[in-house]
Every structure is written in C-alpha cells, then in structure tokens.
Amino acid sequence: MIIDWYTVLFQIINFLVLVFLLRRFLYGPIVRAMEERERKIVAREEEAEARTRESEEEARAYRQKTAELEERDRELLDQARSEAEKEGQRLLKETRNRVEETRQRWQREVAREKEVFLRELRSRMGRQACLIARRCLKDLADAELETMIWNVFLRKLKALSPEESGPLQEAFSREKQVLLSSSFEPAAKRLEETAASLEEIFAQKVQLAHQKDAGLVCGVELEVGGYRVAWSVEDYLEDVEKEILAHLEQSEKEALPDAEAG
C-alpha cells in the first residue's frame, strides 16, 4: 500500500506540532525582532530628522543672530566713529579756543606790561623832569632869587583874603606860635618884614621862630598851629607833576581798551 494511513496521521500530528514549535521558537521571535528593529530605525530616523530640523533651526537662528550682531557692531562702530569725530572736532575747537585765549591773555599781558612799563617810564620821566627843574632852581638859587622868593611870599601873605586869613588868625590865637621855614637862611631884615606883615594880619605882637628846611625847593613856609601858608617852586612842580601824571593816566585809560580788544 502506497499510503499508510497510520503514518499519515502521525505525520499530520508531527506537522502541526512542528508548526506550533516553529511559531514559538522561530517566527514569533524573528518577526518581533525585525519589527522592533524597524520601529527603532524609524524612531531613529525620526529623531535624526527632528534633530536635523532642530539643528537647522538653530543654525538659522545663529546665522540671524550673527547677522544682527554684525549689524549692531557696524552701527556701534559707526556711532563710535562719528562720536569720536565729533569729540575730535570739539577737542580741536576747544584747543583752538584755549590757544586763542592763551594768545589773547599773553597779548593782554604783554600789552599790560608794556603799559606798566610805559607808565613807569612816563612817571619817571615826569619826575625826572621835575627833578631837573628842581636842581636847576636849586643851582640857580642865590641871594637875588631868595629875595624875589621872599617878596613873593610876603606879597602872598599880604594878599590873603579874609576867608583865608580867618582860620590863620584863629590858629594863632590858639597857639601863639609861628614857625617860619625856608630853604635858605634869610636875612634878619626879612624876618622883621615878615613879622611886621603878620602883626598887620593878626593885629598883635608875633613871636617868630625860624628853621631851615632843605626839603623846600626855593620856598618859604609859615605854619601856625597846623595851619600853613607857603610858597615854593615845589608846589608848582608838584602841580606840574600831578598834571603830568593825570594826563598819563588819562592816556593809559584810553589806550588800555584798545590793547584788550586787540
């Protein structure tokens, strides 16, 4: 018999058992492993894709940020440059101003020094002129001149107005002392003449003291209790000097604004 049904039954059972065992030991595990691998690969690919996307996003963000930073850098640089330029201009201007100021101050200083020097020079010249005049008069002084001086003094004394002689009288009545100073030793006659003139003015006897005073230049001075009547070239010289100095001052004041403006 070709077909042995006993064997057929056995083989069917064998085959079904084999199907079960292989399903348990072969297909199940292998299919599971393959599916798991596929799942993992898919997951990895997705992850990689996500990471790529993320990194691209990040790269783009970084590029943008870099561009922004560059832009800001450029702006800052431009700003700094313009500020530096402005600052430079300002400093230059300031320096120029300062230099200008210094120059002006120097000019003013120089002008002032010049002025001072000139003033000094002028005043010295004035004084010198007066000194020369004094010396001339001193050198010229002799008996003739003295006489003339004394006469002039007496004339002045006599020609005193009541307003002038009033205080003099008052002072005399208080002190009762008259001091006569002159740059030279007068003759006794002169003294008497003077005393007579004074008695005329004060209407009483006068005690006259005399002293020589070299400070008086060609002059005579009479002092009663702090009140003084004098004639001297010195007075004129002083007047002249005062006038000269006043004149100089005037001219300086006029010149100074010009120097400051310059």
Closest CB 52 distance from another protein, rounded Å: 21
Closest CB 34 distance from another protein, rounded Å: 6
**Among residues 36 and 243, whose Cβ is nearest to another protein?**
36
**234: CB partners within 8 A, 6+ apart:** 134, 215, 216, 217, 218, 219
- Of 14, 55, 147, 151, the residue at the interface with another protein (CB under 8 A) is 14
**Does position 62 bind another protein by CB under 8 A?**
no
Site string for another protein, 21-40 (x = CB under 8 A): xxx-xxx-xxxxxx-xx--x
Per DSSP, the residues of 39-108 read: HHHHHHHHHHHHHHHHHHHHHHHHHHHHHHHHHHHHHHHHHHHHHHHHHHHHHHHHHHHHHHHHHHHHHH
Q: What is the DSSP letter of 229?
A: E
Which of 210, 229, 221, 234 minimizes the C-alpha distance to 138?
234
**Among residues 39 and 124, whose Cβ is nearest to another protein?**
39
Closest CB 53 distance from another protein, rounded Å: 24
Closest CB 72 distance from another protein, rounded Å: 48
Closest CB 51 distance from another protein, rounded Å: 18
Q: How far apart are CA 132 and CA 137, in angstroms?
A: 8
CB 93 within 8 A of CB 203: no
Which of 150, 119, 133, 120 minimizes the C-alpha distance to 239?
133
Q: How far apart are CA 214 and CA 148, in angstroms?
A: 18
**Does position 46 bind another protein by CB under 8 A?**
no
**Does position 8 bind another protein by CB under 8 A?**
yes
**Does position 19 bind another protein by CB under 8 A?**
yes
Q: How far apart are CA 190 and CA 222, in angstroms?
A: 13
Q: How far apart are CA 73 and CA 81, in angstroms?
A: 12
**Does position 47 bind another protein by CB under 8 A?**
no
Q: How far apart are CA 139 and CA 218, in angstroms?
A: 10
**Does position 9 bind another protein by CB under 8 A?**
yes
**Among residues 31 and 148, whose Cβ is nearest to another protein?**
31
Interface segment toward another protein; rule CB under 8 A; list 8-16, 158-166, 169-177, 253-261: 8-16
**Does position 4 bind another protein by CB under 8 A?**
yes
**Does position 98 bind another protein by CB under 8 A?**
no
Interface segment toward another protein; rule CB under 8 A; list 5-13, 62-70, 191-199, 249-257: 5-13
The residues of the shown chain that bind another protein, judged by CB under 8 A, are: 2-5, 7-12, 14-23, 25-27, 29-34, 36-37, 40
